[in-house]
Structure 1
Amino acid sequence: MSELTAKRSAVTPARLALFLVFRVGNERYALQAIEVAEVLPRLPLKPIARAPDWVAGVFAYRGAVVPVIDLSALTFGQPAQARTSTRLVLVHYRPDEATPAQLLGLILEQATDTVRCNPADFQPYGLDNRQAPYLGPVRKDAQGLLQWVRVADLLDEQVRALLFPAQPLDLLKEPS
């Protein structure tokens, strides 16, 4: 084996991952593409009574009712602007390994770009933000900081119980 071949085999190439980039206000965020099921245009939603303001509603998708949250409203208290680049992004929501993945819709502004990078390039940003555990590490690039949004950490137990009840309502059962 030549010296050049030995050097090439000794260096392990960085594993690059694809991320969907979007904005909340002027700030850039990213979802790992393997968590994304589909990117749709913004669709009409059925509101959920007495849900938190950032729960945008539900819609029917391929025979299932999918809950949707507005990430801008969740993060900064302002609903996403209705732009042509605002998307309804379906993600595979799985809060832990024991729970099967379920579809969750996210309303995301300017969700039109992707970036391919090494996930290890994202670094902790030095704050323990317990109010927003879904906001993960950050990565610096030519456009500034890009923050990783972790889908598994989007919903707390109370909202998860509201959007994904353990016991679905039995619509055929007669009231007593």
Structure 2
Amino acid sequence: MSDRLGEVLQRQKQQINEPENTKDREEIEQLVGFIVGEEEFAIPILYIKEIIKPIEYTRVPSVPPYVLGVFNLRGSVIPLIDLRIRFNLEPSKMTPNTRYIVMQDNENIAGFVIDRLTEAIRIKTNQIDQPPETLAKDKGMIQGIGKRDNNILTILKVESLLKRDF
């Protein structure tokens, strides 16, 4: 019994000392990657409420062209935004890979039409650069540029995507 008590005390001592060791560890950002047009984008996983297959939506008058309308998700009416139109590309064509990503930041919530999901991404924060100054204006939607082995990844600002101008 005293051996077990010694092990428990040793583990507790390790856990107490661990915060100092965490400085040596590299921080990881967890993202979800997706394709819009020909480009891959990502958003932090913490903002994702759900990812669903396309469902029926209702058009709403007097909104910007990128707002397709609203849809009902378990009793909540959520605006639906076409990221292709928002990024000045041709409107989305629904395919078997098309998905809605429902994102939430505090009280703001919206669904976004994407062409397809790619993968869950874990990237070290030291591999994420700030966006170039030309893209970093107040209205900018880019949080950072992730450097991966064979390509770069545009990480979007969820709060900018969810900002209502309609």
TM-score, L = length of structure 1: 0.73
Aligned residue among 139, 149, 154 for 1:142: 149
Aligned residue among 98, 105, 113 for 1:86: 98
| Cα displacement (A) at 1:11 | 5.4
Cα gap change, 1:65 to 1:78, in 2 (>3 Å): same
Q: Is the 1:93–1:104 contact (alpha carbons within 8 Å) kept by the matching residues of 2?
A: no
Q: Give SS of 1:128's match.
A: helix
Q: How many residues align?
A: 148
The reply to whether residue 33 of structure 1 matches residue 45 of structure 2 is: yes
Q: Give SS of 1:154's match.
A: helix
Question: Gapped runs of 5+ residues in structure 1?
Answer: 1-7, 95-100, 163-176
Amino acid paired to 1:108: I
More helix by share: 2
Give the number of the structure whose alpha-carbon radius of gyration is greater: 2
Percent identity over the alignment is 20
TM-score, L = length of structure 2: 0.77
Cα gap change, 1:17 to 1:10, in 2 (>3 Å): closer
Structure 2 matches for 1:69-84, cutoff 5 A? 69-84=81-96
Aligned mates of 1:78, 1:93 — CA distance in 2? 27
- Root-mean-square deviation (CA), in Å? 2.5
Structure 2 matches for 1:65-144, cutoff 5 A? 65-94=77-106, 101-129=107-135, 130=137, 133-144=140-151
Q: Give SS of 1:153's match.
A: helix
